[in-house]
């Protein structure tokens, strides 16, 4: 019996389908194992390439498999789907993973460390609490608007809404006051938890040199810098800054043919949270820049004079992504561009 040089694993919660193949792609074995028996089986197999889809739990299993002496690679599920033959089942999925991994131009996902996934959990927990706070505030505003109490949008205006509630307390039904205070207490509790997580993010950001370098870029704060550290793969895996911007989803979508370039809106592929943070950071830079009489950045001055603000914000986010790649690869800090007409010393 030939020895398998590549093993594709279709993972799930309790059962795992394995497909072993030779370097030429010939099947060697097909096996279904329970969760508790996977590592025991792989520990008896000679070192080979193990491939899985980059889905829930894949990074954990990747670390465990690497610890056994195997090489492990993860493939985005969207790249595996075209290789599934006819009916979709666990056996065909495992075979498709092997076939996709043997393509010479296939792109893989780096296995994340426990520290990186811990940072990702910190960021996602904060994002969840922010969404819950926004939902609670919107619910409170909607309910009180039915009784004539209106306040501007934003978490910072909850104090005004609380003041309106206290002023009109005597004219409101008792149940409305009680429920409103319940929602206000929920908002205060969520704000306190978010503040604690923000402090934790700032502390972790100060402890890491690579994160501090990213924070020197205008528009990138501790949250965005930590998100880059948590979600982005190693920058060395990208050939240039544009490749990283394309991975984030900030490059135009192409629909070109016959030598004619047709570019549309940004692709919005890649990491959604990181893309959102970069656009928000670019928007804050533009908000500050438009208040000033003169702009130090000649590129930004020209773009604001020729393009709509929202388009400029996305273009600036693309530029920030390329700057992030350059600073990470070269291990440098950000240097502001020199103004036109000013000679460098």
Encode pLDDT of 253-273 as tens digits.
888 887 787 877 888 888 888
pLDDT of 327 over the 90 cut: yes
| Mean pLDDT on 292-306 | 77
Q: 69: closest CA among 92, 51, 43, 87?
A: 43
Residue 201 to residues 213, 215, 288, Cα–Cα distance (Å): 15, 13, 24
Residues 281-306: b if buried by 16+ CB within 10 A, e if exposed: bbbebbeebeeeeebebeebeebbee
Average pLDDT, the chain: 89
pLDDT of 1 over the 80 cut: no
CA distance from start to end of the chain: 71
pLDDT of 21 over the 90 cut: yes
pLDDT of 7 over the 80 cut: yes
* 3-class SS shares of the chain: helix, strand, coil, % to 5: 55, 10, 30
| Mean pLDDT on 184-195 | 95
pLDDT of 230 over the 50 cut: yes
The helix (H) or strand (E) run that includes residue 30 is strand 27-34
pLDDT value of residue 30: 93
pLDDT of 237 over the 70 cut: yes
Least confident of 83-92, 223-232, 233-242, 260-269: 260-269
pLDDT of 229 over the 50 cut: yes
- Per-domain boundaries in the chain: 6-101, 114-207, 210-330
Is 128:120 a contact under the CB 8 Å cutoff? no
Tokens encoding 297: 């950045």
pLDDT value of residue 290: 74
- In the three-class reduction of DSSP (H, G, I as helix; E, B as strand; rest coil), residue 88 is classed as coil
Architecture of the domain delimited by 6-101: 2-Layer Sandwich (3.30)
pLDDT of 298 over the 50 cut: yes
Residue 7 to residues 3, 48, 210, Cα–Cα distance (Å): 11, 8, 36
DSSP code, position 72: E
The dihedral formed by the CA atoms of 247, 249, 250 and 251, expressed in degrees to the nearest 10: 80
| Mean pLDDT on 87-110 | 93
Residue found by looking up tokens 């990181």 in the block: 274
What's the rounded Cα separation, in Å, for the pair 192 and 25?
56
pLDDT of 242 over the 70 cut: yes
Is 62:52 a contact under the CB 8 Å cutoff? yes
pLDDT value of residue 19: 95
pLDDT value of residue 338: 63
pLDDT of 294 over the 70 cut: no
Is 249:277 a contact under the CB 8 Å cutoff? no
**Predicted structure pTM score:** 0.83
Categorize the per-residue pLDDT at 295 as very low, low, confident or very high, splitting at 50, 70 and 90: low
Task: Please provide residue 43's backbone torsions phi and psi, each rounded to the nearest 5 degrees.
Answer: -70, -20
pLDDT in tens, 36-92: 999 999 999 999 999 999 998 999 999 999 999 999 999 999 999 999 988 889 999
- Those residues whose C-beta lies under 8 Å from the C-beta of residue 126, and which sit 6 or more positions away, are 194, 197, 198, 201, 223
pLDDT of 343 over the 70 cut: no
* Cα three-residue angle 89-94-99, rounded to 5 degrees: 120
């Amino acid at each position: 019996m030939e020895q398998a040089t590549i093993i594709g694993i279709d993972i799930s919660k309790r059962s795992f389908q394995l497909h072993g193949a030779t370097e030429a792609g010939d099947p060697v074995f097909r096996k279904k194992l329970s969760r508790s028996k996977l590592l025991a089986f792989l520990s008896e197999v000679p070192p080979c390439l193990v491939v899985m889809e980059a889905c829930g739990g894949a990074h954990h299993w990747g670390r465990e498999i690497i610890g056994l002496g195997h090489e492990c690679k993860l493939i985005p599920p969207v790249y595996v789907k075209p290789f599934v033959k006819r009916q979709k089942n666990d056996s065909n999925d495992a075979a498709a993973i092997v076939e996709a991994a043997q393509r010479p131009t296939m792109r893989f996902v780096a296995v994340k460390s426990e520290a990186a996934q811990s940072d990702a959990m910190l960021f996602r927990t904060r994002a969840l609490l922010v969404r819950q706070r926004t939902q609670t505030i919107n619910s409170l505003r909607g309910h009180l608007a039915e009784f004539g109490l209106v306040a501007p949008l934003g978490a910072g205006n909850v104090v005004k809404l609380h003041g309106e509630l206290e002023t009109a307390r005597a004219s409101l039904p008792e149940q409305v006051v009680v429920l409103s205070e319940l929602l206000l207490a929920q908002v205060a509790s969520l704000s306190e938890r978010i503040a604690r997580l923000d402090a934790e993010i700032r502390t972790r950001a100060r402890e890491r040199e690579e994160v501090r370098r990213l924070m020197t870029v205008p528009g990138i704060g501790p949250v965005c810098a930590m998100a880059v550290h948590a979600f982005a793969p190693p920058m060395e895996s990208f050939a240039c800054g544009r490749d990283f911007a394309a991975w984030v989803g900030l490059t135009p979508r192409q629909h070109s043919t016959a030598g004619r370039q047709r570019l549309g809106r940004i692709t919005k592929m890649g990491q959604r949270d990181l893309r959102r943070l970069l656009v928000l950071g670019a928007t804050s830079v533009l908000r500050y820049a438009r208040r000033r009489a003169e702009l130090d950045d000649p590129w930004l001055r020209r773009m604001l004079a020729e393009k709509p603000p929202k388009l400029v914000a996305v273009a600036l986010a693309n530029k920030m992504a390329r700057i992030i790649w350059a600073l990470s690869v070269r291990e440098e800090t950000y240097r502001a561009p020199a103004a036109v007409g000013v000679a460098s010393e």
